[in-house]
Amino acid sequence: MQSRAVAELAGPLLGPAATDPDHGPVHPLTAPLRAELTLTGRPPTATFVRLRGD
């Protein structure tokens, strides 16, 4: 997925800035963002991710 498409789907869902103890500054999502993963290999690795706007 291209970064522009991710931004278009996730942008409207961004909440206020917060600080995560492991990742630093973050903007948590205010609603779920559904994703579909295609897993391959052993151990399973996500090789394709599709974000859904529904």
- Is the separation of the CB atoms in 1 and 49 below 8 Å? yes
For residue 39, give the amino acid letter: L
| pLDDT value for 47 | 75
Distance of CA 5 to CAs 10, 42, 47, Å? 9, 29, 17
Q: What SS3 state is found at 6?
A: helix
Model pTM score:
0.57
| pLDDT value for 1 | 56
Cα distance between residue 6 and residue 28, in whole Å: 15
| Tens digits of pLDDT across the chain (54 residues) | 577 888 888 889 999 999 999 989 999 999 988 888 888 888 888 777 777 766
